[in-house]
Amino acid sequence: MKSPFVSRRDFLKTSTLAVAGLPLLGALAAEPGRKIGFALCGLGSLSTHQIAPALQQSQFCRLAGIVTGTPAKAASWKAQYNIPDRSIYNYDTMAQMADNPDIDVVYVVTPNALHAESVIKAAKAGKHVLCEKPMEASVEKCQQMIDACRAAKRQLAVGYRLHFEPNNLECVRLAREKVFGGLKFIEAGFGFAIGDPKQWRLNRALAGGGPLMDVGVYALQAMRYLTGAEPLQVSATQTVTDEIKFHDVEESIVWQLKFPGGILANGMATYRFNGINRYTAYAERGSFGLEPAYSYHGLHGKRSDGEAIQLTDIDQFQAEMDDFAQCILENRPTRVPGEEGLRDVKIMMAIYEAARTGQAVNL
C-alpha cells in the first residue's frame, strides 16, 4: 500500500530498492500464522508502558526477547512476559542473536545517541530493526545505520507512530487532495515542562540536543508529511532562561521553513512549559489541524468549515509494529524507512546551525 505520507518519487525509489535488495524470509513464509518475534532493546519508560503492552495486543508480533544492561530488569521482564533465558541479552551479547530464530526484529528504545550502536549490532546479527525517534544524533550515524541494514539485507524503520494514526492520516488526505485548496502555511509546536534535571534528555552527549530532537521532530514531521515536500531553507532562534537546568541543550526553539511553491512553516519546541501540542495547516480556501496532534491517545481537530476531525483512537505502537511485521512477512518496504529518519536529522542539524549563527541555512 502506498503511504499517503510519502512523495511519489520517494515511494518508487524505496519500492525498487526493496524488490532488488531484500530477501524473502523463507522460514516465515513457510509458517503461516507465525508471529514476528520482537526483541526490545532498552527497557525504560517507553518499552515498559507503551511498547510491551502493545505487543500483547498485536495481531502480527509478539515479545520474543529483551536486551538490557540491568540484571534486575532481565529477571522481572522474564517473569512478567515468560521470556526464555536464551532470548535475554545485554548490550555486549547482541551478536549471539544471530543464532536465535525466535527473534526477527530488534526494536531499539535507548537514549537517542545510543541508537546507532544497537541498530548496527542488530543488523549484523541478521535482524530487521525498528529504531525509535529521533533516529540518531548526527547525519553520519544515521547513514551508518542505513548502510549496516542494507549490507545485512534487513529493513530499518523509524518509530514514527503518527504515520499510522487515523487523525493525522486524515489531515494528510485533506492536504494532498487539496480539499481547502493548495497549502500556504503550517504552524506546528510540541513541548512540555521537563522534570528531573539529571535525566539523559538534558545531556547533549546522550540526547543529541534538547526539545527539538525529542518532540520538535514531531512538528517537523507534520510539516513534511502535510506538504509532502522537502524544505529548501531554514532559519531559527533558541533560548535558555534557566541556565542551570539547560546548560547543555536548548530550552526552547522556534524555526521557520520555506518549502517549494512558497509554502512557509513556523515550528516550536520546548522543555519549559506545558500545553503546546498542535498543528494547523492554512490553505487557499480554509484551514484544518489537530490539537492535541501528537499524543498517544485522544487526538482530534477541526476544519474551518466547522467539521470535526475525530477518527478512531488506536494503539499507535501496535499499528506501527503490526505494519512493520507485515512489511517483513510480505517483503515490502516500510513507509517509515531509515532514509526518512535521516532527512529529519539533517533538517534538525540545519535548524541548530541557523539558531547558532543567526543566518538562514539552505538545504
Quick one: 139 exposed, middle or buried, by C-beta within 10 A (0-12, 13-18, 19+)? Answer: middle
Residue spans of beta strands (DSSP E) within the chain = 36-41, 61-67, 88-89, 105-108, 128-131, 156-158, 183-191, 233-239, 252-258, 264-270, 277-283, 286-290, 301-303, 308-309, 361-362
Q: Coil, strand or helix: which one is 294?
A: coil
- The residue from 218, 225, 282, 294 that is catalytic is 218
The letter for the amino acid at 75 is A
Cβ-based nearer residue to ligand NAD, 35 or 115: 115
Q: Report the distance separating Cα 222 and Cα 294, nearest Å.
A: 9
Task: Verify whether residue 218 is a known catalytic residue.
Answer: yes
Cβ-based nearer residue to ligand NAD, 22 or 134: 134
Any contact of residue 110 with ligand NAD (CB under 6 A)? yes
Options 97, 105, 109, 137; binder of ligand NAD; rule CB under 6 A? 109
Cβ-based nearer residue to ligand NAD, 114 or 276: 114
Q: Is the peptide bond before 292 cis (omega within 30 degrees of 0)?
A: yes
Range in contact with ligand NAD (rule: CB under 6 A) among 80-88, 105-113, 177-185, 329-337: 105-113
State phi, psi for 224 to the nearest 5 degrees. -75, -40
Cβ-based nearer residue to ligand NAD, 110 or 238: 110
Q: How many residues bind ligand NAD (CB under 6 A)?
A: 19
Which of the residues 180 through 239 are near ligand NAD (CB under 6 A)?
200, 206, 214
Options 4, 65, 159, 211; binder of ligand NAD; rule CB under 6 A? 159
Residue recorded with cell 526553539: 253
Which of the residues 17 through 46 are near ligand NAD (CB under 6 A)?
42-46
Cβ-based nearer residue to ligand NAD, 110 or 168: 110
Residues 6+ apart with CB under 8 A from 247: none
Q: Report the distance separating Cα 108 and Cα 181, nearest Å.
A: 40
Q: Report the distance separating Cα 57 and Cα 138, nearest Å.
A: 34
Interface pattern 68-87 for ligand NAD (x via CB under 6 A): -xx-----------------
Q: Report the distance separating Cα 58 and Cα 164, nearest Å.
A: 14
Any contact of residue 163 with ligand NAD (CB under 6 A)? no
- The residue from 133, 160, 225, 279 that is catalytic is 133
Any contact of residue 121 with ligand NAD (CB under 6 A)? no
What is the smallest separation between the CB atom of 232 and ligand NAD, expressed in angstroms? 27
Cβ-based nearer residue to ligand NAD, 132 or 344: 132
Any contact of residue 141 with ligand NAD (CB under 6 A)? no
State phi, psi for 357 to the nearest 5 degrees. -95, -20
Task: Verify whether residue 78 is a known catalytic residue.
Answer: no
Residue 67 · residue 40 · CB < 8 Å: yes
Task: Name the residues that contact ligand NAD, by CB under 6 A.
Answer: 42-46, 69-70, 109-112, 114, 132-133, 159, 161, 200, 206, 214
Task: List active site positions.
Answer: 133, 218
